[in-house]
Amino acid sequence: MCNRHPRNGSDWVQAVAFNPVNPDQLASASDDKSIKIWSLKDGQCQQTLQGHSAPVTQVEFLDDGTLVSCDSRGSTKFWDIATGTAKAEVPGQKFTFSKAASGTEQRAGRFLVTSEGDLVLVHQADGGEASDVNKVPVAFFLAPALSIPVSTVACVGEHIGIGCKSGAVIHLRAPWLVKA
């Protein structure tokens, strides 16, 4: 899947997150103040959530029906995914996101997935966080265009979600991530 937030000069994808109950659903948060929910089965945007007054910097599914997002001003919103409406807002308060929330580095079992420029790198890191110093690169993915910098990565099972500074949202499947 390779889709994007609309190009309007501020479409940088700041965060991506998989639905923990339904890993075929990916959320992306952007500088354009929107959140998009993507279906990985057909690569289509299922819905766009709007209501933040600043760039959305973090997003995470709390459960199958609730998404939480935070913008650059610290405002946190809780969204009802079924209706696409905000259930609650906590103005000026920053939600504490889990360690699994997207960033530039994610763990996927015995692998560490990182980004560097327009590359997504997969390293073998069998010994956990302590062995990250001795990580061994085993695969890489190049963003599909000329030098699209990767801004965020999220992993769940065999799925890797990528958000780019161009607004592109990319889904990769790597079944070997979950093989023993």
CATH number at residue 92: 2.40.10.480
Among candidate residues 94, 139, 92, 88, the one with its CA nearest the CA of residue 114: 139
| Range of the structural domain that residue 34 is part of | 2-177
Structural domains of the chain, count: 1
What pLDDT tens digit does each residue of the chain (180 aa) get?
Answer: 335 544 444 578 999 999 988 888 999 999 999 999 999 888 899 999 999 999 999 999 988 899 999 998 888 999 999 999 998 877 765 556 655 555 677 777 778 888 888 888 888 876 655 555 667 788 888 876 656 788 888 888 888 888 888 888 888 888 888 775
